[in-house]
Chain A
């Protein structure tokens, strides 16, 4: 299914820098759509360290990752950005030229968006599930090895092995246990990060013999033609045992990969997108890169650098979106027109 959308700017990445770019572009009457592979805004701040304090945001002696994201969402709210969560931009087609850029973006679910400028604010890249270092695991991916549960029915009457000690691992262990022929949870230590009530529920099922808990790390897979039959488990004492397994679901958290951005024909420097320091524009006019994803002499990977980069990029983007209009620089403290846009005047 595909829906054709038209807008001024698409921002790839809804982390702190992408969110602040909505604000800076909004002040210049530029409408934005944001696309992020995560199911929520905030990027690394929300996914990696929501509870951890950040001490180097100007004007905030201390703010948590999630706290900063919440405030940035509030700040960009007057400009009504549209969010597309759980999607990744796969391809960018260049339709215009350097004087009048126009792009068509396609996401991994087939959605297309046409826009006059693209802002890549993708941080460390897109979050993807980490794969355990088990030799030959690729041969079973999609058939017997899954990094997320899409349809529970696919696990009915199967020997299921879930790996991990966090909430995802425990929640899916408990959800799939009633369906599975036999459920085994594998974790490297007998101590779990997951919520205590799910850990207790799992231990009750183990105590009553309704599922198994195995402490150790999976070192090998056995099967044929993409169909798994057993896994090898190396215990804490280095002894290896074999567990029947037709479906393996490893939950090893997420990692960041540059992903499709590498294929968009942009000049890259050590896996980062090269930009100038006047407009933060890439080698393709109309495509900008701000925040941790970009590279230029003297670059510092700080959130505040990304804010600055977004403000400067917005100035050039205004010229692409409104080629006929002259941009007059204004302050939010004194400009009634800016204050009206913010809904405070």
Chain B
């Protein structure tokens, strides 16, 4: 299983084995990773699963689609590597990915 490291805003990191086919958000919620709220449950209808993707992985993870880009308007401190974690599907290629969470989600 691909392993994903979540680093929270205080610098604490958690390494989690993610299931291929689930999303990064689902992985985080299932393992009680803090700072990811996912108010809408993964419908890309809020912006409370906002994360920063490790720059090195940006080419693999890719850029947000138009709908996600719209929702990112509601997120805080959006950066070029900002994504909504409910829209990132876990694949084998994401093994070793590092995700950083912002200190607030609205």
Listed in ascending order, the chain A residues whose CB lies under 8 Å from chain B are 44, 48-49, 52, 124, 130, 132-133, 164-166, 187-189, 191, 193, 217, 252-253, 255-256, 301
Contact = CB atoms under 8 A, between A and B. Distances in A.
A194 B76 CA distance: 19
B74 A52 contact: no
A100 to B, nearest CB: 38
A188 B73 contact: yes
Interface residues of B, number: 18
A188 B78 contact: yes
B41 interface: yes
Given A193-B73, A253-B74, A52 B106 contact: no
Contact of A48 (B45, B69, B72, B73): B45
Contacts of B72: 188
Contacts, number: 47
Nearest to B73: A165
A301 B73 contact: no
A133 B46 contact: no
Q: Chain A interface secondary structure, helix, strand, loop or mixed?
A: loop
Given A166-B73, A252-B74, A252-B106, 7 more contacts: A48-B39, A124-B39, A130-B106, A133-B77, A165-B70, A193-B70, A217-B77
B31 interface: no
A48 B40 contact: yes
Nearest to A53: B43
Contacts of A217: 77-78
Contacts of A166: 73
A200 B86 CA distance: 32
Contacts of A301: 41
B78 A52 contact: no
A264 to B, nearest CB: 22
Contact of A255 (B39, B45, B70): B39
Contacts of B39: 48, 124, 255-256
B48 interface: yes
B76 A132 contact: yes
Contact of B73 (A44, A187, A255): A187
Contacts of B74: 130, 252-253
Contacts of B70: 165, 193
